[in-house]
Amino acid sequence: SMPPGTKTMSETPAALASATLAQLYIQQDHLEQARRVLARVLAADPFHGHALALAERLAARPRARLYAA
């Protein structure tokens, strides 16, 4: 078991910063960058709540828009 006071992966600054970065990318419509960042977060922490929620939002967006100029 983990020693008391140990942070879970979801709370690590790197994962948090990455999920926040992905959120900013989504807001700016940089969906491909957002997908890449989220893939990295979820590879490190498959149960990262914020990243999972963002990934679901991305999955709902039509991919066709990514290739429109």
Residue range 57-67, pLDDT digits in tens: 999 886 655 55
Of 50, 53, 25, the C-alpha closest to 37 is 25
Distance set, CA 57 to CA 1, 45, 53, 60 (Å): 34, 18, 6, 5
pLDDT of residue 5: 53
Average pLDDT per 10 consecutive residues for the chain, totaling 69 residues: 53 82 95 95 94 94 58
Whole-model pTM: value is 0.69
pLDDT of residue 13: 76
Which amino acid would we find at residue 57?
A: R
pLDDT of residue 69: 45
35 contacts: CB under 8 Å, gap ≥ 6: 55, 58
